[in-house]
Amino acid sequence: MPVLVLMTRQGCCLCEGLAEKLQALALPQALVRIDVDGDPALQARFGLEVPVLVLRSPHGEQVLPRVPPRLTGDSLRVWLQKHGFSGQDA
């Protein structure tokens, strides 16, 4: 089953905003949040580009395009589906 991973950092208002929007969707899968500053490799990879969504599946990882900040609710759900995350149990 695909897992949605939010790469974030403490004190990032964009990260917090996206996390709240994703949690409001009440997706069946848990949203995994990872603080990039806790891992030097992730910090080097994502730097100041957070928030970043990563779709993890049995087929590997896919970094999703930046989520438009104005997307909420059903629009965000459609955007996620367009980018390969159905939000349904596999």
- Tell me the pLDDT tens digit for each residue of 14-53: 999 999 999 999 876 778 999 999 999 999 999 889 999 9
HEC string of the chain equals: CCEEEEEECCCCHHHHHHHHHHHHCCCCCCEEEEEHHHCHHHHHHHCCCCCEEEEEECCEEEECCCCCCCCCHHHHHHHHHHCCCCCCCC
Assess if residue 30 is contained within a domain: yes
| pTM of the predicted structure, to 2 decimals | 0.88
Host domain of residue 44: 3-50+58-82
Assess if residue 34 is contained within a domain: yes
Assess if residue 69 is contained within a domain: yes
- Pairwise CA distance, residues 33 & 51, whole Å: 10
* CATH for 7: 3.40.30.10
